[in-house]
Amino acid sequence: MASDDDIADELRALALQLHEVHADDDRRASAYDLLRDAREQLSVGERRLRWYEEYADAEGRRARNRDLSAWSGNLNAVAPPMRLEVGERNGQPAMLGHVRLSRLREGPPGSGHGGVLAGLFDEVMGAAQRLGGGEGGMTGRLTVHYRKPTPLETDLLFRAWIHQERPTRVIIRAESVLAASLVDTPVVTAGAEAFFVRPQR
């Protein structure tokens, strides 16, 4: 039986197929009819709650709160998606984001779009706020330094860590690295710094 994750994966594959292949009129017409039927099939059911509407668990975390994210959400068909996990960078706790960009995210020839990279940085840096155990906040400013083109169809690793933490704001730094280069000398394609403003109680 197909899961919601399976359907989202198929939609991502369909978007890529549309981007790669110019089908003939008959095939486009047939695909259009199938898509309209699929949309009608999925329109009946219980309303899906947004992540902030779902009940929190015993530790105050929202259930599956990142599944609908624009950048790391498995259920969001427009997300790459990026897989997040806690790890380390040079012995310091860091949030790690694993992602591989297809031609759907292309900017310069063969390279990721700068706006896409900024969004991915915002995602992993936002998640990194909680590495220190403090409350998360909203992005106040995000600065990205593009050092070299970030290639498509390549495993990338985004690493974010807390640089400075205060009661009302936290400063995060991050970098995007070619994952294969980690065995030797890391190749950094871009770096970023952001501050996040925490709500005042």
Q: In this predicted model, what pLDDT tens digit does every residue of 89-99 receive, in sequence order?
A: 999 999 999 99
What residue spans define the domains of the chain? 4-42, 70-197
For residue 47, pLDDT over 60 is answered with: yes
The residue with greater pLDDT, 167 or 52, is 167
For residue 66, pLDDT over 80 is answered with: no
- Contact predicate 192/144, CB 8 Å: yes
Q: What pLDDT does 15 receive?
A: 95
For residue 63, pLDDT over 60 is answered with: no
CATH number of 70-197: 3.10.129.10
Lookup: tokens for 130? 């909680």
Q: In this predicted structure, which of 60-74, 125-139, 154-168 has the lowest mean pLDDT?
A: 60-74
Question: How far apart, in Å, are the Cα atoms of 143 and each of 84, 103, 164, 172?
Answer: 21, 24, 16, 11
For residue 83, pLDDT over 70 is answered with: yes
Q: What pLDDT does 198 receive?
A: 87
Q: pTM of the prediction?
A: 0.90
Residue 136's pLDDT band, with cuts at 50, 70 and 90, is confident
